[in-house]
Amino acid sequence: MSKLTVELKKELIKKAFSAQKRAYTPYSGFQVGAALLTRDGKIYEGCNIENASYGATNCAERTAFFRAVYEGERDFLAIAIVGKPEKSEEYEYCAPCGICRQVMAEFGVPEEFQIILPRSLEDYKEFTLEELLPLSFTGDSMKSKTPQ
C-alpha cells in the first residue's frame, strides 16, 4: 500500500513530464503526459495519441489507464497530468477532460483518488476525483436498491 508522500508525488510529476515526450500530436500539437499510481506503488505512463479521424484520438490519461488495466491493475491512487502546446515554453495546469474523469471513476475511489496538475515540479494543484467529477455514474449506479 502506497502512501501519497511528497516524494511520490514528485516522482509521478517527473514521469508525467517524461511521458509527455512520447505524445503523438500531428493535428493539435497539444502534448499531454500522464503518470498513474497503483495502490501497490507501480507507475504507468501515458501520452495522447491523435488520429486523422479526430474522434479516434486517445488522451494521455486513458493511455495510462488502459496500459495499466491490460497489465491486470485495477486499484489506483493518483494521477499526475501535464500538457502544453508544442511551441509554448510555459505550462498551465492541464485539467483532465470529461471522458478521462469518467474512466478514473471506473477504477478510483472518488473521495480518495488524487489528481495532480503540475506546472512544474514545485508548482502543482491537487484535487480529488470527487471534486472534479461529483455525483459520478458508476457500476453501483446500476445496482437495484430493491431486495430481489
**Residues of this chain that bind ligand THU (CB under 6 A):** 25, 28, 30, 32, 48, 50, 57, 59-61, 96-97, 100
Q: Of 38 and 48, which has the nearer Cβ to ligand THU?
A: 48
Between CA 44 and CA 15 the distance in angstroms is: 9
Cell 510555459, residue located: 90
Q: Of 37 and 81, which has the nearer Cβ to ligand THU?
A: 81
**Beta partners for 125?**
117
Residues in CB range of 143: below 8 A, 6 or more apart:
none
List 61, 71, 90, 126, catalytic entry? 61
The reply to whether 94 sits in an annotated binding site is: no
- Output the nine-digit C-alpha cell for 51: 488520429
Cβ at position 143, least distance to ligand THU in Å: 29
Is position 111 annotated as part of the catalytic site?
Answer: no
Between CA 27 and CA 91 the distance in angstroms is: 19
Q: Of 43 and 61, which has the nearer Cβ to ligand THU?
A: 61
Q: What amino acid positions are annotated as catalytic residues?
A: 61
